[in-house]
Amino acid sequence: MKNEIQFEVFGDYALFTDPLTKIGGEKLSYSVPTYQALKGIVESIYWKPTIIFTIDKLRVMKPIQMESKGVRPIDYGGGNTLAHYTYLKDVHYQVKAHFDFNFNRPDLAFDRNEGKHYSILQRSLKAGGRRDIFLGTRECQGYVAPCEFGSGSGYYDGQGEYRLGTMVHGFNYPDETGQNQLEVRLWPAVMNDGYIKFPKPEDCTMIRPIKEMEPKEFKRDDIQSVEQLSYEVGGE
């Protein structure tokens, strides 16, 4: 397909924070990445407001391991606070995603060129992404590379179903929904033989409003030409 991307992402540590653990100032990672975290990784590879990425599937390649660390978060009151963050250790995933045009942005209709975006996306992936890759938080550096989704052997192959509980799925932003409202989506995550199939954002039934928000405006001058983008990722 001319709108699909398949890649692997890996790193020494990851922190896909369960928001319930932030209340006391300490953080505990979910056992797998959230839909929104994976979408952020894809958008770090290549992003334009003209398109919307959808994460289709995730494959967990290595065993889920956790490690706690004592950290000193920034305390603007001048204190010397010690907190414990629990990270995922030695992570490796395969991801399958695709993009569609954002029809909630008619002002960007002139930029709806599927072949252009697909070509730049693939070149950006081979270059390791256009922006730095972070696995949940900035201190967890990640790396991406092209792969064939489903290839190779994974740790959870043939191990059946794992119910991971209710997780944050992602956020509904005004740019993508056409509504002046920021919302959070939740879903009951399930892993089968190492694979997680994500529901589409519009299929999530557990949605909670957060606050009112207006979409960001983009002018035609803000959109770079094909020649500029190709030059930035090493094209001729």
185 in a structural domain: yes
115 in a structural domain: yes
205 in a structural domain: yes
Q: What are phi and psi of 36, to 5 degrees?
A: -65, -35
What's the total number of domains in the chain?
1
Runs of H (alpha helix) within the chain:
35-45, 114-126, 174-177, 226-232
Exposed / middle / buried, residue 179 (Cβ in 10 Å: 0-12, 13-18, 19+): middle
236 in a structural domain: no
Residue among 157, 161, 169 at smallest CA distance from 191: 161
Going residue by residue through the chain (236 aa), what tens digit of pLDDT does each one get?
Answer: 589 999 999 999 999 999 888 777 788 999 999 999 999 999 999 999 899 999 999 999 999 999 998 887 777 666 667 888 999 999 999 999 999 998 888 888 898 999 999 999 999 999 999 999 999 999 999 999 999 999 999 999 999 999 999 999 988 888 777 788 888 999 999 999 999 999 998 899 998 888 888 777 666 565 555 555 555 555 54
pTM score of the predicted model: 0.83
37 in a structural domain: yes
Q: What is the CATH number of the domain that holds 34?
A: 3.30.70.2660
SS3 content of the chain, % helix, strand, coil (to 5): 20, 40, 40
Domain that holds residue 70: 4-74+82-228
163 in a structural domain: yes
234 in a structural domain: no
233 in a structural domain: no
